Amino acid sequence: MTAPAAAPMFRRVALIGLGLIAGSMSLAMRESGLAGRVVGYARSDETRDVAREIGLVDEVTDSAAEAVAGADLVVLAVPVGAMGAVAAEIAPHLAPGAILTDVGSVKQSVIEAVAPHIPAGVHFIPGHPLAGTEHSGPRSGFAGLFRNRWWLLTPLPDSDPAAVARLSDLVRALGANVETMEPAHHDLVLAVTSHAPHLIAYTMVGVADHLRRVTDDEVIKYSAAGFRDFTRIAASDPTMWRDVFLHNREATLDILGRFAEELFVLQRAIRMGDGQHLHDYFTRTRAIRRGIIEAGQDTAAPDFGRGVEKE
């Protein structure tokens, strides 16, 4: 006799925004029976039509208010710059006791934009899954996106521990590792590990594009693995990254200033022929790569130009 399926962790989940992260959440929750019903809304008619066509969620609504009505979990999966306006729109329709979270890459500005709109009795627990690809849109999601990735939560000082625990349990059920962090510290860490590297990648690809115009497309034709990785990062959603830099300005500028100082030291070593300094520097930075592999956040396999491992 087959054992009865476990009760879903949430009765109704509302996803506001239907891109890579929300779509992957829906696929993972439905695959594992974590939600009784997943409802989604996106501002674009085209996105809603595609979501309906591919069955991304159980129901696609034509308004955010309709999506969140009766939901015990609401996920804001829109660009950081749109969070405040969306929160104001849905606030009157949030159910008492519901958990509201987000998946934005910046936390302090999201808290400042969203928290003032949240009614008493609704648990706002900001979050950020450190998972993604360069692809966006409703067709980009896959159920295994969060597997063995980190999902950072930045609870507010008055956050209900039981609500934080409940959201943490869902994140773990999606396959992710959970860590809690202060919002300001989150923004500094992400400036180092994500935001500044993305800006550097955008810059390098922009330089290469300028050079390509005078080298008869050789930069594109003869791209080595390092440049290909830059182009993968630089292909990320431009609206999302515009908002990230505008809303994590101080931390990103701090890290870029430090980067410029390091770059100046390396420029001087190259100019002066200081091979020992270069070798020592590269030896130290190589250890960071080994640490990432040992932490299970990448593989040592020499699969240059690898595609997305969807499962």
Tell me the pLDDT tens digit for each residue of 205-259.
Answer: 888 777 766 666 677 776 666 777 777 778 878 888 898 888 988 988 998 999 9
The pLDDT value given to residue 264: 92
Both tokens of residue 200?
């550097």
Give mean pLDDT, residues 53-73.
97
CA distances to 107, 118, 134, 201 from 229, rounded to whole Å, are 27, 40, 11, 9
The pLDDT value given to residue 231: 78
3-class secondary-structure state, position 297: coil
CA distances to 181, 188, 216 from 59, rounded to whole Å, are 33, 37, 50
The pLDDT value given to residue 207: 80
CA distances to 142, 186, 238 from 205, rounded to whole Å, are 28, 27, 14
Give mean pLDDT, residues 59-75.
97
- Three-class secondary structure assignment of 221-237: HCCCHHHHHHHHHHCCC
Q: What average pLDDT does the chain have?
A: 89
DSSP state for residue 164 in the 8-state scheme: H
Q: Rounded to an integer, what distance in angstroms lies between the CA atom of residue 191 and that of residue 256?
A: 9
Residues linked to residue 74 through DSSP beta bridges, in sequence order: 14, 100
The pLDDT value given to residue 3: 40
The pLDDT value given to residue 197: 85
- pLDDT tops 70 at residue 304: no
Give mean pLDDT, residues 245-274.
91
222 exposed, middle or buried (CB, 10 Å; 0-12, 13-18, 19+)?
Answer: exposed
Q: Rounded to an integer, what distance in angstroms lies between the CA atom of residue 277 and that of residue 15?
A: 51
Domain formed by 185-294, architecture: Orthogonal Bundle (1.10)
The pLDDT value given to residue 296: 76
- pLDDT tops 60 at residue 74: yes
Give mean pLDDT, residues 31-37.
96
The end-to-end CA distance of the chain, in Å, is 30
Do 10-181 and 185-294 come out as alike in CATH topology? no
Give mean pLDDT, residues 134-163.
94
The pLDDT value given to residue 188: 93
Rg value, the chain, Cα: 21
Pairing of strands 99-102, 123-124: parallel
Both tokens of residue 42?
């996106």
3-class secondary-structure state, position 296: coil
Select from 1.10.3720.10, 2.60.40.10, 1.10.10.60, 3.40.50.720 the CATH code of 10-181.
Answer: 3.40.50.720
Q: Rounded to an integer, what distance in angstroms lies between the CA atom of residue 110 and that of residue 102?
A: 9
Q: What angle (nearest 5°) sits at the alpha carbon of residue 58, between those of residues 52 and 62?
A: 55
Domain boundaries, the chain: 10-181, 185-294
Give mean pLDDT, residues 145-151.
95
φ, ψ (nearest 5 deg) of residue 148 = 60, 20
The pLDDT value given to residue 215: 67
The pLDDT value given to residue 146: 96
What percent of the chain has pLDDT above 70? 90
pLDDT per residue over 87-128, tens digit each? Answer: 999 999 999 999 999 999 999 999 999 999 999 999 999 999
Q: Rounded to an integer, what distance in angstroms lies between the CA atom of residue 244 and that of residue 35?
A: 30
Provide the pLDDT confidence category of residue 171 given band limits of 50, 70 and 90. Answer: very high
Pairing of strands 35-41, 73-76: unpaired
